[in-house]
């Protein structure tokens, strides 16, 4: 987890504990584990949605999760480039900045 996502989860745990519980048990414990889509495919859909909706605060966590799910930085760059034509140039440019700010390698 990135520091931003850790901070977000800590805030959620304090301010909205039920939302934190649902996030962990339902979203990551059930939805992300369903067999209908692979984790890689779920990551592509999630990064696309977060980019299109300009949800930059959640993007670092999901970009890292995408890489953990087998999507390369180059593929993420290509995904963001593709999204520029559908989600808009500013959203894509901001997503590139978030990707660029992430550490390379593990």
Which CATH number goes with the domain that contains 75? 1.20.1290.10
Report the number of distinct structural domains present in the chain.
Answer: 2
The 10s digit of each residue's pLDDT in 57-105 is 999 999 999 999 999 999 999 999 999 999 999 999 999 999 999 998 7
Residues 30 and 7 in one domain: yes
Average pLDDT over residues 4-21: 86
Residues 23 and 51 in one domain: no
Range of the domain at 45: 38-106
**Burial environment of residue 84 by CB neighbours within 10 A (0 to 12, 13 to 18, 19 or more):** middle
- Predicted TM-score (pTM) above 0.85: yes
- Number of Cβ within 10 Å of residue 15's Cβ equals 9
Residues 28 and 53 in one domain: no
């Amino acid at each position: 987890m990135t520091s931003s996502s850790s901070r977000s989860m800590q805030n959620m745990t304090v301010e909205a504990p039920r939302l934190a519980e649902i996030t962990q048990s339902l979203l990551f414990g059930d939805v992300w584990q369903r067999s209908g889509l692979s984790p890689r495919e779920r990551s592509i859909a999630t990064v696309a949605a977060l980019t299109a909706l300009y949800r930059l605060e959640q993007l670092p966590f999901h970009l890292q999760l995408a890489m953990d799910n087998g999507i390369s930085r180059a593929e993420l760059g290509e995904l963001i480039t593709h999204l520029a034509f559908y989600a808009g140039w500013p959203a894509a440019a901001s997503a590139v900045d978030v990707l660029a700010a992430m550490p390379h390698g593990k």
